[in-house]
Structure 1
Amino acid sequence: MTFKKKAAAAALTPVLAASIFVSSVSAAQFPDVKTSHRAYEAVEAMVEAGVISGFPDGTFKQYQSVTRAESAILIGRALGIKVSTSTKTFTDLPSTSRAYPYVAELMKRGIFSDSSRFYPGRPLSRSEMAIILTRAFDLPASSAMPFTDVSPTHGAASYIRALAAAGITTGVGDGKYDPAGVVTRGQMAIFLNNARKFEAPVPGTPVPGTQTAAEIKAEYADDFTALQAQAEADLDVLAGQAKAELDAGADLMTVYNKYFPLASKVEAETDADFNALYTQLTAALTKAGFSASEAQSFKTAYEAAKKQMKEDLMNEIL
């Protein structure tokens, strides 16, 4: 090699080292990743952790798709895999490839399906991402499917359910996951950041998405009962005071005009508390994949209780 070629190679080496996987540049320095972008915090966290980085031109290219080979390197680094020699052979991935030791190790661990072909240059789909992340981070199974565009028979359905239940994905909006969509670099950073932060529940603690609708409603039953009991107690106090004034000879309309606004205030406050609790219950049900109508029995019972309390109040006074 001539002196000029050696000098050029020496100058180029640092640039090559600052490739997508090696640079330690802060995400805050990427001109194409703004603090207002959804992926900003995840990109910054993954760059700081040494899992992902930018390009030689200083950009991150968050909307560029991730290939299967790139995903193997990134997931391997997120797991802290120590690459070692392997005798595994692929028809489309040479052992000299940067991704080779990661792919071989991830296949050995069952994270990627074992095969003689890997399709390293193919963009990674969101379905594939759900499968490998669920396997890589040993995510617990879930029975609830929050996405309308993933059928129960879809090959990745169980993995997508697990990913959603673990809080690693919330989909692409409008209740959809887009299983055939391609994973972008920004999404990859979010997926990996969420997966690394996921903590398996303590044994015996219900896993989100594995509870039945009845179990979820049971968690709120005591709160609804307590709310009703407090309203009844408050109204009983007002009824007792009103009756005492009537028994002492006070005019009926005078007593009515005094205590009706107080009783209405108790009712309004109880209604507000009920609606807040009811909203929490319906949110918990829908998050677990159930219909909000599962909570209707609480509203029906509440309306019936209100009617009965009004009748009881009048009976106590009169």
Structure 2
Amino acid sequence: MMRKKMLGLLIAVLLCFHFSVSFAAGATKSSADFTDLKDLDAATKAKFDKMISAGVFDGVSEGTFGLKEEMNRAQFAKVAALTKGLEVNKDLKTSSFSDVKADGPNGYALPYIEALKSAGITDGSGEGKYNPAGKVTKEQLATFLVRLIDQDAEAKAKTASDSTVSNWAQGYVALALELKLLNNGTDGKFGGQANATRDLLVLGSYEAKGQLEAQAEQKKKEEEEKKQQQGQTGSPATQPVQATVDTPMALPAGGTVTSGTHVTLTSATASAAIYYTTDLSEPTTSSTPYTGLIIITSSTTIKAIAVKPGSKNSSVAIFEYTVAMPIVLPDSISPLTQDQPYTSTVAKLSGGTGAVTYAVTNGTLPAGLTLNPSTGAITGTPSVSGAYHFTIGATDSATPPATATMQYTGNITPSLSKMSLDLINEASASGVWTGVTETTFTDAGITGVTSENLYGIQGILQDYDYPSTALPKTLLEIQAIVDETINVAAIYAFLNPFGGGSAPTVEVFARAGITGVDAANLDAILDELSLAYQESRNNPFGTPMSTKQDIQDVVDLFLIV
């Protein structure tokens, strides 16, 4: 009963695809027919093409493969049966499982589910049910792929510790990773309880299919040799046929791998010794004997033979490995200045074999900047000065993917306008105006300050909120005070007989912050102000006339009277 439950778990791995499966004669589809496969690297496309051309996989719709769609048990049953080459009775209309109906939403899978049951691969999910709509996790997929190539015992003998994988699946996942049937995520974890997607099954099935084909070929060869030997038994004139050692097999069997990948060589012939080369020369018994793992650190071609006394040497096996070069990111970005348009890039300097995607993996970009995920360009206008810290991650689309991260730190230089504005506010607070000139106001974006009115404006800013200080002031606030000061001075220049100023307009009074003056009363108010000004000069105890408030008081009195 336990064995049946485990077999049910095994097939659950295989039952999770939203796709159609076809063995239609003359099918000519390839990865080029699907828009979401066009950006795959050449090696990955070749794997997809093999599985598509074999009729095992098709798209979810015309022109769409559904690379990241999840699978269900009914959909995957069809793939499992075809992958195993099981005999399928497509005329079946009744299932041995109560939840599988020919007229149900997953009815198309009924014959394939029954074929799997007849082959002893599954007895459902329990209590006479199959759960055709159920999803399949990544760790279940790993279990199926390992068992599919008859490596169940090897998986059970392995130990591993991945917090994202269930205890029962640790060995299966570890072996699936070692055999390159599946890969870890970019965070170095497998994510075993996440639902498996179509791309994982295509690539994992491709690797498993290659090993199954090799096993079938070897079995066929052994049977032919056995028949040949049996046909010669009892003939005294015929010499015994010398057996040929089985050709070595490799795990992984080749393709794109990461640096440090371990390659295992085996032969199905018991006690056979294996010799290999990595310099493209033909292997002989004088070549390097295989005694343990071969570690791949650069693109390598392994040629190997298997040898056993009393038997013919095996044919030469060739395994080609391409090492995916690590992605190298720039170690810094261009300097940033507040309020200045910015363009820089974190695009890879080298490495990777497929299209690269960039993302902020830790921290945030400075305010005002954006990252182009396809090109790595950072553009925008930084709006805040000060320190910044963020990390960029880069991942290519190869299998296995190359990844890299780089932390970027630095300081955004304040803009000239902000530095100048800060100087003006600091001087207003301290009363020390050393080094603050009319140029400082211009650099801050404040207009109207000249060498003639500089001292007066400095004094107004310093005492504007006396006895309290409302600092720091914004650019607009300081500009309003400067405008007010300039226009008050223009009014006094007119009132002073020796000032030489022209008669102020209604607009001048408004810019000076004086209220109550309009076109109808302008001339009368100017007369009142002139009288008040002369009185303040002739009578020290008369109406004071030296500030903006003094002018406002005269205007207010005029309006009341």
> Is 1:149 matched with 2:163?
yes
Distance 1:111 1:133 in 2: 13
Q: Which residue of 1 aligns with 2:349?
A: none
Q: After TM superposition, give the deviation of residue 65 of structure 1 in Å.
A: 0.7
Match of 1:166 among 179, 194, 219: 179
Q: After TM superposition, give the deviation of residue 88 of structure 1 in Å.
A: 4.6
Q: Which residue of 2 aligns with 1:108?
A: 118
User: Which one-letter code corresponds to 2:146 in the other structure?
Assistant: T
**Are the equivalent residues in 2 in contact too, given 1:71–1:124 (CA < 8 A)?**
no
Distance 1:109 1:103 in 2: 10
Q: After TM superposition, give the deviation of residue 35 of structure 1 in Å.
A: 4.2
> Is 1:40 matched with 2:53?
no
Q: After TM superposition, give the deviation of residue 144 of structure 1 in Å.
A: 3.9
User: Which one-letter code corresponds to 2:118 in the other structure?
Assistant: K
> Is 1:26 matched with 2:67?
no
RMSD: 3.7
Answer with 96-105 or 59-68: which moved more: 96-105
Q: After TM superposition, give the deviation of residue 121 of structure 1 in Å.
A: 1.4
TM-score normalised according to structure 2 size: 0.31
> Is 1:83 matched with 2:88?
yes
**Are the equivalent residues in 1 in contact too, given 2:95–2:101 (CA < 8 A)?**
no
Q: Which residue of 1 aligns with 2:210?
A: 197
| Residue ranges of structure 2 left out of the alignment (5+ in a row) | 1-18, 219-245, 253-261, 265-293, 298-561
| Higher relative strand content | 2
Q: After TM superposition, give the deviation of residue 32 of structure 1 in Å.
A: 1.1
Q: After TM superposition, give the deviation of residue 104 of structure 1 in Å.
A: 2.0
**Are the equivalent residues in 1 in contact too, given 2:146–2:175 (CA < 8 A)?**
yes
Mapping for residues 94-133 of structure 1, pairs under 5 Å: 94-95=101-102, 97-114=107-124, 115=126, 116-133=128-145
Q: Which residue of 1 aligns with 2:279?
A: none
Per-residue Cα deviation, 1:67-96 (whole angstroms, up to 9, x for no partner): 111111112112222203596521221145
CA gap of 1:204–1:188, structure 2 versus 1, over 3 A, is: closer
Mapping for residues 33-72 of structure 1, pairs under 5 Å: 33-36=37-40, 39-72=44-77
Q: After TM superposition, give the deviation of residue 156 of structure 1 in Å.
A: 2.1
Q: After TM superposition, give the deviation of residue 176 of structure 1 in Å.
A: 2.0
Distance 2:251 2:31 in 1: 33
- 3-state SS, counterpart of residue 168 of structure 1: coil
Q: After TM superposition, give the deviation of residue 64 of structure 1 in Å.
A: 0.8
Q: After TM superposition, give the deviation of residue 131 of structure 1 in Å.
A: 2.5
Distance 1:191 1:74 in 2: 13
**Are the equivalent residues in 2 in contact too, given 1:147–1:175 (CA < 8 A)?**
no
CA gap of 1:87–1:57, structure 2 versus 1, over 3 A, is: closer
TM-score normalised according to structure 1 size: 0.51
> Is 1:93 matched with 2:97?
no
Distance 2:182 2:163 in 1: 14
Distance 2:188 2:197 in 1: 20
Q: Which residue of 2 aligns with 1:183?
A: 196
CA gap of 1:110–1:206, structure 2 versus 1, over 3 A, is: same
Per-residue Cα deviation, 1:87-137 (whole angstroms, up to 9, x for no partner): 652122114522122222223334334442222112221122123333333
Per-residue Cα deviation, 1:142-171 (whole angstroms, up to 9, x for no partner): 4445663356x6122333234234331233
Per-residue Cα deviation, 1:161-191 (whole angstroms, up to 9, x for no partner): 3423433123324432211111111111111
Match of 1:138 among 137, 150, 156: 150
- 3-state SS, counterpart of residue 35 of structure 2: coil
| Higher relative helix content | 1
User: Which one-letter code corresponds to 1:154 in the other structure?
Assistant: N
- 3-state SS, counterpart of residue 92 of structure 1: coil
- 3-state SS, counterpart of residue 36 of structure 2: coil
**Are the equivalent residues in 1 in contact too, given 2:160–2:171 (CA < 8 A)?**
no
CA gap of 1:129–1:205, structure 2 versus 1, over 3 A, is: closer
CA gap of 1:68–1:155, structure 2 versus 1, over 3 A, is: same
Distance 1:124 1:191 in 2: 14
**Are the equivalent residues in 2 in contact too, given 1:146–1:164 (CA < 8 A)?**
no
| Residue ranges of structure 1 left out of the alignment (5+ in a row) | 1-18, 212-279, 284-318
CA gap of 1:281–1:196, structure 2 versus 1, over 3 A, is: closer
**Are the equivalent residues in 2 in contact too, given 1:26–1:47 (CA < 8 A)?**
yes
Per-residue Cα deviation, 1:227-259 (whole angstroms, up to 9, x for no partner): xxxxxxxxxxxxxxxxxxxxxxxxxxxxxxxxx
**Are the equivalent residues in 1 in contact too, given 2:30–2:52 (CA < 8 A)?**
yes
- 3-state SS, counterpart of residue 155 of structure 1: helix
Q: After TM superposition, give the deviation of residue 281 of structure 1 in Å.
A: 6.4
CA gap of 1:59–1:132, structure 2 versus 1, over 3 A, is: same
CA gap of 1:181–1:203, structure 2 versus 1, over 3 A, is: farther
Distance 2:21 2:67 in 1: 14
Distance 2:123 2:44 in 1: 29
Mapping for residues 264-275 of structure 1, pairs under 5 Å: none
Mapping for residues 284-303 of structure 1, pairs under 5 Å: none
Number of residues of Structure 1 aligned to a counterpart in Structure 2: 197
The structure that has the greater radius of gyration is 2
CA gap of 1:35–1:204, structure 2 versus 1, over 3 A, is: closer
CA gap of 1:111–1:134, structure 2 versus 1, over 3 A, is: farther
**Are the equivalent residues in 1 in contact too, given 2:56–2:79 (CA < 8 A)?**
yes
User: Which one-letter code corresponds to 2:205 in the other structure?
Assistant: L
Distance 1:54 1:282 in 2: 35
User: Which one-letter code corresponds to 2:130 in the other structure?
Assistant: F
Q: After TM superposition, give the deviation of residue 48 of structure 1 in Å.
A: 0.6
Residue identity (%) = 21
User: Which one-letter code corresponds to 1:197 in the other structure?
Assistant: G
Per-residue Cα deviation, 1:189-242 (whole angstroms, up to 9, x for no partner): 111111101246969999899x9xxxxxxxxxxxxxxxxxxxxxxxxxxxxxxx
- 3-state SS, counterpart of residue 156 of structure 1: helix
Per-residue Cα deviation, 1:8-40 (whole angstroms, up to 9, x for no partner): xxxxxxxxxxx7223742221111112435853
**Are the equivalent residues in 2 in contact too, given 1:150–1:157 (CA < 8 A)?**
no
